[in-house]
Amino acid sequence: MKVAVIGATGLVGSVMIKLLGERQFPVTSFVPVGSDRPGERHVVFGGKKHRVVTVAEALASPPDLALFSAGGDVSRKWAPAFAEAGTVVVDNSSAWRMDPGKKLVVPEINADVLVAEDRIIANPNCSTIQMAMALYPLHRRYGIRRVVVATYQSVSGSGTKALKQLDSERRGEPGEMAYPHPIDMNALPHVDAFLENAYTKEEMKMVNETRKILGDDTIGITATTVRIPVTGGHSEAINVELGDDFDMDEVRALLAGMPGVSVYDDPARNQYPMPLTSGGRDEVFVGRLRRDESHQRALNMWVVSDNLRKGAATNAVQIAEYLVQKGLLKADARQAH
């Protein structure tokens, strides 16, 4: 089928392109889309160079599938036009996540909500995806009453400009600032813009998106999101209050049995997830599992994932794979539409 990647020259877009090849997605025609000197740049897919085109050019000959990762403004403007043309859009921005008419999907959790009529499907926030993956089997078994999470997020989550800032600071050279403060040798409790309630957008994404994915608005969630000087991989310290008492061995078994989750937890051998553990991997790693000694029904865990892969590109491609597997996305679907 004909597949377009909107934002093909960005960090997430480039990983999407890589994954389409790695996972052997059925691409017969590939269209990379970018705003950075379209027509002058090329990307490689399937062993061939492909000219980067504009969004308007891609829409003129609509693809069957469009993976969007070019920011909320681009998604709000162009995703409906592609959907109207019959294209299935999987959007990585925050534009459609909390739209009540759009599905917010982590395939291992709630892909079954998707139907043939879904033309714009939202890909969740990176920090939300990995947390939801770890919470889901526990919520299904015990019910979750409250979650307290603090994140330790890599600079790649802010894009190329942030990576360049970190690199410049480490080399002791002046450079363009992606953040309001230095990031090297620092930790910024400031991920995305601050809101009127004193939380950041990132923190509220974790609250609202997690409830939508798990299908439970009663879960109490509070988050503090922090940017740290790591180039890739997000880490999260999560405290979970469950609805029922639990057995730690059963908790480990539930997490180990969750597709896409890897329990990596042997402190006696210094085994616990780290950003380096997750690099280039699609699993969500869980470790430092322990009962919260201050609360009878609570436990702590440390969750790490590659934010550009499962936190973004992998999840988007998995959504597309599910649609193909279930016959909801076909090469002739756009023509039929």
pLDDT tens string, the chain, 337 residues long: the values are 999 999 999 999 999 999 999 999 999 999 999 976 666 899 999 999 999 999 999 999 999 999 999 999 999 999 999 999 999 999 999 999 999 999 999 999 999 999 999 999 999 999 999 999 999 999 999 999 999 999 999 999 999 999 999 999 999 999 999 999 999 999 999 999 999 999 999 999 999 999 999 999 999 999 999 999 999 999 999 999 999 999 999 999 999 999 999 999 999 999 999 999 999 999 999 999 999 999 999 999 999 999 999 999 999 999 999 999 999 998 865 554 4
Check if the beta carbon of residue 269 is closer than 8 Å to that of residue 173: no
Query: Could you say which of 181, 190, 234, 337 is catalytic?
Result: 234
What is the helix (H) or strand (E) element at residue 320, kind and residue range?
Answer: helix 314-325
> Domain containing 131 — which CATH number?
3.30.360.10
Number of CB atoms found within 10 A of residue 146's CB:
16
Residue 83 domain boundaries: 2-95+312-336
Q: Is 295 a catalytic residue?
A: no
Q: Are residues 138 and 260 in the same domain?
A: yes
Residue 36, domain member (yes or no): yes
Give whole-number Cα distances, 281 to 253, 278, 328, in Å: 21, 5, 27
Q: Are residues 57 and 161 in the same domain?
A: no
Residue 115, domain member (yes or no): no
Instruction: Please give the pLDDT value at position 331.
Output: 80
Residue 181, domain member (yes or no): yes
Residue 118, domain member (yes or no): no
Q: Are residues 318 and 280 in the same domain?
A: no
Instruction: Please give the pLDDT value at position 330.
Output: 86
**Distance between CA atoms of 317 and 319, rounded to whole angstroms?**
5
Backbone angles phi, psi at 168, to 5 degrees: -65, -45
Q: Are residues 322 and 236 in the same domain?
A: no
pTM, to two decimals: 0.95
pLDDT in tens, 53-78: 999 999 999 999 999 999 999 999 99
10 Å CB burial of residue 10 (0-12, 13-18, 19+) is buried
Residue 59, domain member (yes or no): yes
Q: Are residues 59 and 183 in the same domain?
A: no
Q: Which residues pair with 152 in a beta bridge?
A: 226, 235
**Distance between CA atoms of 329 and 116, rounded to whole angstroms?**
7
Q: Are residues 289 and 328 in the same domain?
A: no
Q: Are residues 19 and 150 in the same domain?
A: no
Q: Are residues 247 and 167 in the same domain?
A: yes
In 3-state terms, what secondary structure has residue 188?
strand
**Distance between CA atoms of 319 and 212, rounded to whole angstroms?**
17
Query: Could you say which of 126, 139, 295, 337 is catalytic?
Result: 126
**Distance between CA atoms of 96 and 105, rounded to whole angstroms?**
11
Q: Are residues 156 and 61 in the same domain?
A: no
> Domain containing 90 — which CATH number?
3.40.50.720
Give whole-number Cα distances, 85 to 35, 63, 241, 254, 331, in Å: 21, 9, 46, 42, 14
Residue 218, domain member (yes or no): yes
Check if the beta carbon of residue 37 is closer than 8 Å to that of residue 72: no
Q: Are residues 146 and 294 in the same domain?
A: yes
Q: Are residues 86 and 214 in the same domain?
A: no
Backbone angles phi, psi at 29, to 5 degrees: -140, 125
Residue 106, domain member (yes or no): no
Q: Is 234 a catalytic residue?
A: yes
Q: Which of 143, 109, 146 is nearest to 129 (CA)?
A: 109
Instruction: Please give the pLDDT value at position 31.
Output: 98
Residue 109, domain member (yes or no): no
Range list of β-strands (E), the chain: 2-6, 29-33, 42-45, 48-51, 65-68, 88-91, 103-104, 120-122, 144-153, 220-227, 234-242, 261-263, 284-291, 298-305
Q: Which of 55, 170, 65 is nearest to 121 (CA)?
A: 65
Tell me the DSSP string of 57-122. HHHHS--SEEEE-S-HHHHHHHHHHHHHTT-EEEE-SSSSTT-TTSEE--HHHHGGG--TT--EEE
What domain count does the chain have?
2
pLDDT in tens, 236-295: 999 999 999 999 999 999 999 999 999 999 999 999 999 999 999 999 999 999 999 999
Backbone angles phi, psi at 207, to 5 degrees: -70, -55
Q: Are residues 73 and 185 in the same domain?
A: no
